[in-house]
Amino acid sequence: MKRIVILISGRGSNMQAILEAKLPVQVAAVIANKEDAGGLQTAASLGIATAVLSHKGYPSREAFDADLARLIDSYQPDLVVLAGFMRILSEGFVRHYENRMINIHPSLLPAFTGLSTHARAIQEGVKVHGCSVHFVTPELDHGPIICQAVVPVLDDDTEDTLSKRVLVCEHQIYPQAVRWFAEGRLSVEGNRVRVANHADIQAHSLIVPRD
């Protein structure tokens, strides 16, 4: 059984979705960079090991990332899952976990990298929006895409209403991506991810919610 470590900074709603999905993985630990991250209590209540490593007081991003990597590796994970971990990661850290660290981003990458994705989608007048699960690379919010989910952008959408619909999709596709990794079904070829043993690949790697 694959071992995973989940990194969070806040409430950890995607972490909770992964835990509730009853995936064929062992969650070795949940690690936060903030002591008040709400997801720590959720994980602890389920008997999952938790740890906090604050980034404050470190002389550089690289110094913090080095200690974070040592902490993660002490749990011997096969996969590192970023679930609302609000840190830009150094290149050395990312290279250390190449093809075994994934992230979820609230846009249809490569569109709208960075922050304020929902507001920017509305401002740009796009007709569809969504979220993406991808392997992490040194370039922020880039990397081979595992799966995506799409929602329509409605005429009366606000940043709040759109974000809520996208979050529902995040909770669907992130557990799916972790499951595929755990089952050994993902392979990375250049900047593309292939999912093995699917009769209809698009039906599984692209989710379009229906009313």
- DSSP string of 26-76, one letter each residue: EEEEEEESSTT-THHHHHHHTT--EEE---TT-SSHHHHHHHHHHHHHTT-
Question: Tokens standing for 74?
Answer: 């002490």
Q: Which residues are catalytic?
A: 105
Q: What span, in angstroms and rounded, lies between the C-alpha atoms of 48 and 106?
A: 27
Q: What span, in angstroms and rounded, lies between the C-alpha atoms of 168 and 126?
A: 19
Q: What span, in angstroms and rounded, lies between the C-alpha atoms of 190 and 193?
A: 8
The answer to whether the beta carbons of residues 79 and 101 sit under 8 Å apart is yes
